[in-house]
């Protein structure tokens, strides 16, 4: 059996920065409230003519360059997103066309956990011998699904994309993965209309049902339970313990969630990565964007052990334990 290892990492962020003060100019909120309740100062927002697949293409090109590969070298593309360019075709197909890939391409939709589910699909394809080089992209333009007059949600989200190249390797890069879903609570975080339940109509648009709706407190309580539990399960599946972790890299949704998780796992806060201040919650992109930040800042060393941990709508959650096998920058 081959192992899967990360050989390329890339990121792409839209150029437009929106600060808390910018939002406070149009909705009843304040920089102080947003910073103290979430840790967010600013976020990036897609341009009017930019789509999720454009963000993903930027990140994918950077990851290919980092891995030293050409589009033709890739034999599978998996895209994690919950803000697809359109209902069909898949964002992965649109991205495949933009990159000039010729391989099979499909989307994975698990909300903010999409990247971990996509990573599982990619690693499994390599481990089973069905693929040798897989491009995994987490891309979201969730601000396209946000009601910018709703202060409970509009301050939280930002847009972006991150990507990994995974290759068959004699070194085990992807160690254990734990995934979970609980489909009994869809109402906690959902976009009610636009699917087969409530097709688009004047009424659904007038009622704002195409916007993201969230019970923030329920998601918060779920996140601070799910992140420690799935991290421990994935570590156990890898034959490792919390002490072996170099970095815990959770989905970036709220600094208070990250702090609570660090306390519950008794991890020093400086080992729990955070870049939420500058990016907000970028959904499926947040984990590969976090890894890219650590990588490009020279903070990752060969042999480091990373826990990549997601949670989100569904409900879904998951953790992947990764040994960093790239040479030091």
Judged by the rule CB under 6 A, the positions of this chain that interact with ligand UT7 are 29, 33-34, 37-38, 112, 151-152, 155, 214, 216-217, 219-220, 223, 253-254, 281, 312
In the bound complex, what is the minimum distance in angstroms from residue 227's beta carbon to ligand UT7? 10
CB distance 248 to 265 below 8 Å: yes
In the bound complex, what is the minimum distance in angstroms from residue 313's beta carbon to ligand UT7? 7
In the bound complex, what is the minimum distance in angstroms from residue 174's beta carbon to ligand UT7? 23
Kindly tell me which of 12 and 222 has the beta carbon lying closer to ligand UT7: 222
Give the nearest residue (CB) to ligand UT7.
216
Residue 242 DSSP class: G
Kindly tell me which of 113 and 325 has the beta carbon lying closer to ligand UT7: 113
φ/ψ of 231, rounded to 5, equals: -60, -45
Strand positions, DSSP E, the chain: 3-12, 16-19, 42-45, 76-80, 104-108, 133-140, 160-169, 174-181, 189-190, 213-214, 247-250, 305-312, 316-323
Residue with tokens 């650590």: 294
Kindly tell me which of 96 and 260 has the beta carbon lying closer to ligand UT7: 260
Kindly tell me which of 11 and 224 has the beta carbon lying closer to ligand UT7: 224
In the bound complex, what is the minimum distance in angstroms from residue 288's beta carbon to ligand UT7? 15
112 classed as catalytic: yes
How far CA 2 is from CA of 45, 73, 155, in Å, comes to 39, 17, 43
Kindly tell me which of 22 and 73 has the beta carbon lying closer to ligand UT7: 22
CB distance 119 to 136 below 8 Å: yes
Kindly tell me which of 38 and 81 has the beta carbon lying closer to ligand UT7: 38
For the record, the structure tokens of 144 come out as 């396209």
Out of 154, 251, 254, 292, which one is annotated catalytic? 251
In the bound complex, what is the minimum distance in angstroms from residue 4's beta carbon to ligand UT7? 26
Out of 112, 154, 254, 292, which one is annotated catalytic? 112
281 classed as catalytic: yes
In the bound complex, what is the minimum distance in angstroms from residue 294's beta carbon to ligand UT7? 20
For the record, the structure tokens of 149 come out as 């007059």
CA distance 41 to 302: 32
**Which residues have CB under 8 Å from 312's CB, separation 6+?**
82, 110, 111, 112, 113, 114, 189, 251, 283
Question: Shortest CA distance to 317 belongs to which of 230, 228, 187, 248?
Answer: 230
In the bound complex, what is the minimum distance in angstroms from residue 179's beta carbon to ligand UT7? 16
154 classed as catalytic: no
Q: Given its phi and psi angles, is residue 208 left (phi above 0), alpha (psi -120 to 50 degrees) or beta? A: left
DSSP string, 304-317: -EEEEEEEETTTEE
Q: Which residues are known catalytic residues? A: 112, 251, 281
């Amino acid at each position: 059996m081959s192992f899967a290892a990360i050989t390329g990492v890339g990121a792409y962020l839209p150029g437009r920065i929106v600060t808390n003060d910018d939002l406070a100019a149009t909705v009843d909120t304040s920089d102080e409230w947003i910073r103290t309740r979430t840790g967010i100062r600013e976020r990036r927002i897609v341009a009017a003519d930019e789509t999720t697949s454009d963000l993903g293409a930027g990140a994918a090109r950077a990851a290919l360059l980092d891995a030293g590969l050409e589009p033709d070298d890739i034999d599978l593309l998996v895209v994690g997103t919950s803000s697809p360019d359109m209902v069909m075709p898949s964002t992965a197909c649109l991205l495949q066309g933009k990159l000039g890939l010729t391989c099979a391409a499909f989307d994975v939709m698990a909300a903010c956990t999409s990247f971990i589910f996509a990573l599982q699909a990619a690693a499994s394809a390599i481990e089973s011998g069905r693929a040798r080089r897989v491009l995994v992209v987490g891309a979201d333009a969730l601000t396209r699904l946000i009601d910018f007059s709703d202060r409970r949600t509009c301050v939280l989200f930002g847009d972006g994309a991150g990507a990994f190249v995974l290759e068959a390797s004699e070194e085990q890069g992807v160690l254990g993965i734990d995934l979970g879903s609980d489909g009994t609570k869809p109402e906690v975080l959902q976009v009610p209309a636009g699917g087969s339940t409530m097709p688009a109509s004047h009424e659904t648009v007038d009622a704002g049902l195409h916007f993201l709706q969230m019970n923030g407190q329920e998601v918060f309580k779920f996140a601070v339970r799910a992140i420690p539990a799935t991290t421990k399960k994935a570590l156990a599946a890898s034959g490792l313990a919390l002490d072996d972790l170099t970095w815990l890299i959770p989905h970036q949704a709220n600094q208070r969630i990250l702090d609570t998780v660090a306390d519950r796992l008794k991890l020093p806060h400086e080992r729990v990565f955070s870049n939420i201040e500058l990016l907000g919650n970028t959904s499926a992109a947040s984990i590969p964007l976090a890894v890219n930040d650590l990588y490009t800042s020279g903070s990752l060393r060969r042999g480091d052990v990373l826990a990549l941990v997601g949670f989100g709508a569904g409900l879904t959650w998951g953790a992947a334990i990764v040994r960093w096998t790239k040479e030091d920058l």
